Amino acid sequence: MTGPAEVPVVAIDGPGGSGKGTIARAVARALGWHMLDSGALYRLVGLAATRQGVALDDGGTLAGVAHGLDVVFDPLGGEEGRTLLAGVDVTAELRNETAGRAASLVAAVPAVRAALVGRQRAFRRLPGLVADGRDMGSVIFPDARLKVFLTASVEERALRRYKQLKQKGIDVNLPALSKDMAERDRRDAERAVAPLRPSPDARILDSTGLGIAAVVVQVLDWADEAYPGLARREGPEA
């Protein structure tokens, strides 16, 4: 089961810092569709496990943490929404690099991935879903009629992430960030389950040197092609 097949899905996958989150959010807004930030689920598992004192490689216990995640995504809280873990606002904490690293560790555990499948597919609701992650097109929504693999050079991705974190007042250092990003890319690409790689039917979009608006317009054009008449829009808000 991949969720109600009549509900259209645009899957946007790619490495960290490729701009997936920003693009997916803008595309969802332009289409008036729902949005799944699947990375947030892995970040939440990492955070919940850390809080509960569960080791990040303890597969069996982590799967239980993933199954039992008490999370609320409140779309009305702030510009990008608010995330509550067991009733506590963890929106800012989720975005920091510690949470990113923890996410990439727990994401390599097959039982954790399995535990999150149903939760992710439940986001597939009318009028449509834009799903952002690493395996949206390959594993979670293999029948999506539009799969985009968004990428950019590692230098540009590190710089984007650097600016994003700085803007949020999070103190970071660019060389350390680049190194960490390359390491995380490697772990995501080499893991045995759902490794990060484009599905054969994905459209590759290299956003190096492209602005957000240009990327959003391209994805919206493809969405129109994939779902004629369904992906109607007034125009991108990017």
With beta carbons less than 8 A apart as the criterion, state whether 70 and 126 touch: no
With beta carbons less than 8 A apart as the criterion, state whether 43 and 102 touch: yes
- Residue 190 or 221 having the CB closest to ligand C5P: 190
CB of 181 to ligand C5P, least distance (A): 9
- Residue 27 or 107 having the CB closest to ligand C5P: 107
What is the H or E stretch that residue 52 is in?
A: helix 38-52
- Name the residue number minimizing CB distance to ligand C5P: 39
CB of 107 to ligand C5P, least distance (A): 3
- Residue 8 or 39 having the CB closest to ligand C5P: 39
Contact residues for ligand C5P, defined by CB under 6 A: 16, 38-39, 42-43, 100, 103-104, 107, 133-135, 184, 188
Q: Give the integer Cα–Cα distance in Å for 104 and 173.
A: 20
- Residue 37 or 238 having the CB closest to ligand C5P: 37
Task: Quickly count: other Cβ atoms within 10 Å of residue 63's Cβ.
Answer: 20
Peptide bond into 127 cis (omega under 30): yes
Q: Give the integer Cα–Cα distance in Å for 64 and 51.
A: 14
CB of 201 to ligand C5P, least distance (A): 17
CB of 223 to ligand C5P, least distance (A): 20
